[in-house]
Amino acid sequence: MNTTEKLLRVNFNPDDTPHIKVDTSICNECSTQICLNICPAERFTLESGKMRFVVDGCLECGACRISCETDAVTWNFPHGGCGVRFRLG
Amino acid sequence: MSSKFDVIVVGAGLAGSAAALEMARAGLNVCIIERAIVPGEKNVTGGVMFKGILDEFIPNWKNEAPIERWISKKGIGMVTAESLSLMQYETERNDGYNACTLNRVHFDSWLANKAEEAGATLLTNTLVEDVILEDGFVKGVKTHHADGFIYADIVICADGVNSLVAQKAGLRKQDIKPKDIGLGIKEILSLPEETINERFGLKGSEGCAYEFVGEFLNGVYGGAFLYTNRNTLSIGIVVNLGSIAETSVNSRAILEHFKNQPQIKKFLEGGSLVEYSAHLVPEVGLDMVPQLYGNGILVTGDAAGLVINNGFSIQGMNYAIASGREAGKTAVDCIRKGNASARELASYKTQLDQSFVGKNLKKFQNTHKVLANPRIGREYPVLIDNIAKNLFGFEDTIQPSLSSTLKNSLRGNVSPWQLIKDGFEIWRYM
């Protein structure tokens, strides 16, 4: 089962503004692109060699916030009442 | 909304609600602010709740708290692509149930509700964005609501592992580093209750909890877990973020790899995925505990990094409740004295240091260095596999003696010098 199918099993209450912003122009120059290996929701992907970030489906773990060494990630919590809603955490 | 409380607690997780319950019982005017719609919805556990603190704090909790199963069987296993070596402890003692599995939405909501019943105000759907600072004292919090300033004499940060509030208040000077943090990824698989009981050899509400290391880790510092809930299994991994960066191994692939180890696969057969989750875990104990108090502010639970791994069990939820309660007690004293200065609030740290929280933090402060040994995830599972298959007669050879099995298994795998060195560290720090 791929990550997208796994995320279909998770409840979300979408936020009106993205709680994470990624400056992908920095990522495209990044030598490690560690986020690709770290994000459990696979929100960081490479498309034709360019970094793509999609905030919908974020599990709000904060791994990208802590691991990104280039300051490309601006991380915050979603607004109150928004974001992931685990039923079986 | 402009209101004033004695104390504001940021976060209705276990630490926050425990603090609020302690203070509300003492008659303080307390407000818990939670960003989720329902307490617990943002939380994930990768383990079990050890009950000691609850017995003391809420004596009747066993009869009222929503729990999944009582742990009667606990084990650690080493996994290779072809084998599983399991060391398991099982008890029939009725009073031996020292721990339980739980669902965080159910359990956290229950605890928050206890605080409400005791008189605390629970404000959900509300994100705390910053603290209000006046003359060097924290005087309340700013929420994202229009006109959302809420005032209090003390703010308790119980906002979890990504504690942005403690950081903004200046208590965590430097952000946590990847090597200090584990990434937990968990899947919940549904299976009929009877199937779980049969498969794991359990009766009624008994449960089991296993932790694993092995080749599936691919040299990454971490481990995997499997435990039973009433009619689901929780399976997942916790991998160190610094180690993922160093090794360039994919975290999601480690979980898939683990689930596909033949011996693990048998446990999961027929289970269908009902939820996928992830959460960070503080991993280095004392080495990452921030400044725990300041003028008008205290930090508790995961926000303070209060998780302890002694190599055999990882405990965090009970430490959250215990530390939250201590923060609550200190806040009660300081509100009664009318003094919320850092000097007064410092007694929180003194109390914490004297409790099992502080004592264990100190005792196991170097354990993470032992556990980060890459041989635990690579050479040792193979070594154990070798020894076990020889001693248990799975190899069709002349029965070897224990000493020759050990000698042959070590050859080309781990040098005797390394074994002694690792053994010494385990002896010393675990």
Do B171 and A71 contact (CB within 8 A), yes or no? no
Chain B contact for A13, CB < 8 A? yes
Query: Measured between CB atoms, which of A41, A62, A80 is closest to B35?
Result: A80
pLDDT at site B176: 87
Please name the residues in contact with B48: beta carbons below 8 A apart, sequence gap of 6 or more.
B71, B99, B100, B101, B102, B209, B227, B313
User: Which residue of chain B has the CA closest to A67?
Assistant: B178
pLDDT bucket at B2, cuts 50 / 70 / 90:
low
Continuous H helices in B144-274: 164-168, 193-200, 241-247, 251-259, 262-268
- Taking the Cβ of residue A28 and every Cβ of chain B, the question of whether any pair is shorter than 8 Å is answered with no
* CB–CB contact A37 B105 (8 Å): no
CB of B111 closer than 8 Å to CB of B23 = no
Output the pTM of the full model.
Answer: 0.94
Per-residue model confidence (pLDDT) at position B51? 86
pLDDT tops 90 at residue B424: no
pLDDT above 80 (res B397): no
Count other Cβ atoms within 10 Å, centred on residue B354.
Answer: 11
pLDDT digits (tens, 9 = 90+) for B140-178: 999 988 789 999 999 999 999 999 999 999 998 888 899
DSSP string, B19-31: HHHHHHHTT--EE
Per-residue pLDDT at B403? 81
B125 contact A CB<8A: yes
Higher local confidence (pLDDT), B22 or B371: B22
pLDDT at B1 over 70: no
For residue A70, give how far its alpha carbon lies from the nearest alpha carbon of chain B (Å).
Answer: 13
Residue B376: what pLDDT? 78
